[in-house]
Amino acid sequence: MPVQIDNPIIVQSDRSILLEVDRPRSAEARDLLAAFAELEKSPEHVHTYKLTALSLWNAAAAGLDADMILRQLRDLTKYDIPANIVTTINDLIGRYGRVKLVREGSKMLLRSTDHALMVELSRNHRLQEFLIDWSDPDALEIDPGRRGHVKQALIQIGYPAEDLAGYTDGTPIAVVLRETAASGKTFSLRPYQDWSVRAFYADGAPTGGSGVVVLPCGAGKTIVGIATLATVGRSTLILTPNTVAVRQWIHEILDKTSLTADMVGEYTGDRKEIKPITVSTYQMLTYRASEHGDFPHFGLMTAHDWGLIIYDEVHLLPAPIFRVTAEIQARRRLGLTATLIREDGHESDVFGLIGPKKYDVPWRELERQGWIATAECHEIRTTLPDEARLNYATIEDREKYRVAAENPRKTEIVRALIERHASDQILIIGQYIDQLKELSEVLNAPLLTGRTSNQQRQKLYDAFREGELKRLVVSKVANFAIDLPDANVAIQVSGTFGSRQEEAQRLGRLLRPKADGSIAYFYTIVTRDTRDQDFAANRQLFLTEQGYRYIIEDAEMVLS
């Protein structure tokens, strides 16, 4: 085809895709690429995406086929797509679902019309221990109790199965969504929330019932979970990151459904209630008295007749939960998250054991529709004091990030930003407790950490929500599942190295729409020319991927 000089992307033979952000159709291209490629780098002018097996399998599971992807790429690329990329997309998209996992009577079978592939799979060492019989040339009988392990093995082999084996029903319960919440507010699902539930459940067909819904913080993932619970109409176990989240889920369930308090249980360190709807934490289930001891609470996942398990913040799943999830593939599984990124690289385990991505929507699209707040993202760069620079130059690499992150000049910048936003609700967020204690004292603001009791946390959250507190200093415990609808400024002084998932959660603390329509401000204070700046560049990837403009400022401009 002729060169389309104004088109924004270049597809390269190494599976990378370059996006020129200054071209007229760059925003359109970014939203399309997010559906089937992963963002790797995002400097000022050219962003780099990568086509991976997992990104293409997720696209296939969401209904995209190779022809659709290639047609979109050809519409947006400057040059011809390399022939090997056309082949790669066709091949990888075609691998998803070529093998199907089905139940026939009492047997669990892997089926495919590709006889050569079945021969290959039957002889693959990753599957050998799970096979029972291969008397049918087009079907492998597998151990039904190892369904999850088989799916993991198939992903490693490169042929992810489409799981059509169905689910146990679970104990039926009657759940109706209220038209008027118990709090007195009118309640109805937003369109994208309704579409999320429909995409997951698929009208009860075998193609539905397991997978992940990706929505920004503030977009109502909890409501999606509750609506799914009502749609499935079966006993449900909900797993969350912490006890505060447990109680928020319970509050929302009782507020927005017909369920009564005697039907909804809390299973935490404080209370151990098992009811038709039970809400617990990952920490509770992974507790054990010693490193090699048993997990006494795992029975909660396996011993009850659940029809649905909801994994809140599914990207946080600890390895023991993955292991037990591999054994309970006959239960419907819904994962909720703002990002599928895992810092340990185990995205394929989420895909195999929870399910593929069922619904995703660009954050900026929800912002344009008014469902989440408009946000501005700023990185403010400062320098280390001379004495600290000398120390930084001589210490071990593993210590460099903390020294740079705890740069004492950040305190002065925080104070200047607070003056800039004197009438706003401000969260000051960080990783290191000593740094946060100092900020708490300097700013005369309460400090909330992992050691803060649940009762005191709730008291602080309530005071902040009601406007009695204007400033709150929080550690990473506030990253997940807290409801701070009136926060409109966040100042990040340090983070978990280069964690993109953490960046998503922290920005998400600001995105619930404001009653007055005001915008949110997300500031990250970074020490220039250090590991702090290197890690910030990685976190920036998430913001860029979602279409946010990332404004870099010099500290002197903020302080002047």
The CATH number for 328's domain is 3.40.50.300
Cα gap 479→293, rounded to integer Å: 30
Between 268 and 457, name the one with better pLDDT. Answer: 268
Please indicate, yes or no, whether residues 373 and 514 belong to a single structural domain of this protein: yes
Which SS3 state, helix, strand or coil, does residue 89 take? Answer: helix
Is 352 in the same domain as 412? no
For residues 42 and 118, state if they share a domain. no
* Domain boundaries, position 51: 9-95
* Domain termination residue (choose one: 78, 95, 112): 95
pLDDT at 309 over 90: yes
In a domain? residue 179: no
528-559: per-residue pLDDT in tens? 999 888 888 777 777 776 767 778 889 888 88
Backbone phi, psi, residue 188, to 5°: -155, 155
Q: Is residue 181 in a domain?
A: no
Q: Which residues contact 102 (CB under 8 A, 6 or more apart)?
A: 108, 109, 111, 164, 165
Boundary (domain end) residue, out of 310, 329, 361:
361
Among residues 361, 389, 410, which one ends one of the domains? Answer: 361
The domain tally of the chain equals 4
pLDDT range class, residue 485, cuts 50, 70, 90: low
The residue type at 55: S
Q: Are residues 319 and 392 in the same domain?
A: no
Whole-model pTM above 0.85?
A: no
In a domain, 182, yes or no: no
**Do 151 and 267 share a domain, yes or no?**
no
Q: What's the Cα-to-Cα distance from 18 to each of 7, 43, 70, 79, rounded to whole Å?
A: 11, 11, 15, 12
The reply to whether 487 and 373 lie within a common domain is yes
Question: Is residue 398's pLDDT more than 70?
Answer: yes
Residue 176 lies in a domain: no
| CA pair distance 356, 198, nearest whole angstrom | 15
How confident is the model over 176-220, as pLDDT tens digits? Answer: 999 888 778 888 999 999 999 999 999 988 888 999 998 887 788
Residue 124 lies in a domain: yes
- pLDDT, mean of residues 131-136: 87
Same domain, 90 and 150: no
Domain-located, residue 82:
yes
Query: Which residue did the predictor score with more confidence, 191 or 560?
Result: 191
CATH number at residue 154: 3.30.70
Together in a domain, 410 and 539 = yes
